[in-house]
Structure 1
């Protein structure tokens, strides 16, 4: 058991290190040729088939990563968890989303102050571009929901469906931001990395609190 905990802790530290390295590798190379080429190649592919119907679909998808969409989903899940007596998980979701998708993202945006792309914007957004709030928020929200499903349900199928749904939503929301012309692809990737970093920190913290609570009940 101790060996497993050591290995798990080592993996978590390595992942956190990779996230930090990846995030700052992007953040310090906005004007570099590699990032520039990556951004414009992806934008040209994603925006190559713009149409009214596809725009409507992308606007629908992007809502689920917006402040309003994330707030609604978070509130509904918190209520459901509280009613079903999963109150530690409801607190986990509240803190993870509130501080991560809200406060942490705003701090990062204000620090890096990257302007939004002006290549072919379909909608108008205000504020800074990096990291993408929708991408970061979707990673935190749908990653948290997948984690909650793993904690609440014992059925393997529920865990698999939850994980697949989360991955699809996160990816689709990121693509929608590029399609709508309000974020560079590197903003989206940066948002994913920052969101994954924050989510892992919160999961580690939750695990410690959960173990501490169980020990308290046994003593």
Structure 2
């Protein structure tokens, strides 16, 4: 099942990679026009906060805090979390450099680099998704706030007009691929550990 999910999100990313040039002047532009109509100072401030939550200014402190608190109890989970975050950041930069898609011109905030895929969507899907997965194994209710947070962060990037919708969708697919791979490695490690 996990392998099927891995394959599915990989296919999703490939499809978006192939068709994103055709979306910029159709679906992507229509979505940007729609979110422009929703613009208010309060919503802009809220979306800026959501984007901050999805940035390295939060992710690295979380990683350091978890390493300090539970690193000595569950070292393999922390090592995988480090692998997850650092790996997905490197892959994000590689994909952006390869595609070289320019950001929308009507940005509400400053943002550098290329647009496709959305780094916020990709990295939060992989990194926060992995943390939510670990929590979900003990507390099933965590799924709802987890999905909500990832969705809102993705929406914030479209609302702030630093990404097109296809950037965010591609980021979720690529991040989902990396998340699935991390989970598979975790389960492989647990199986190996239990058979010793």
Aligned runs of 1:1-219 on 2, under 5 Å?
Answer: 11-32=1-22, 34=23, 36-82=25-71, 85-100=73-88, 102-118=89-105, 120-151=106-137, 153=138, 158-160=139-141, 162-216=142-196
Within 2, Cα distance between the matches of 1:27 and 1:149?
A: 32
- Find the structure with the greater CA-based Rg: 1
SS at match of 2:21: coil
Distance 1:110 1:213, change over 3 A: same
Q: Is the 8 A contact 2:158 2:164 kept in 1?
A: yes
Query: Which runs of no fewer than 5 residues in structure 2 stay unpaired?
Result: none
Q: Is the 8 A contact 2:96 2:117 kept in 1?
A: yes
Query: Which runs of no fewer than 5 residues in structure 1 stay unpaired?
Result: 1-10
Distance 1:48 1:78, change over 3 A: farther
Q: Is the 8 A contact 1:39 1:184 kept in 2?
A: yes
Q: How many residues align?
A: 196
- Greater Cα shift, 86-95 or 12-21: 12-21
Q: Is the 8 A contact 1:129 1:183 kept in 2?
A: yes
Structure number with higher relative contact order (C-alpha < 8 Å, ≥ 6 residues apart):
2
**Deviation (angstroms), 1:62:** 0.6
**Deviation (angstroms), 1:209:** 1.3
**Deviation (angstroms), 1:89:** 1.3
Within 1, Cα distance between the matches of 2:136 and 2:39?
A: 38
When the two structures are superposed, what TM-score results if normalisation uses the length of structure 1?
0.84
CA root-mean-square deviation: 1.6
When the two structures are superposed, what TM-score results if normalisation uses the length of structure 2?
0.93
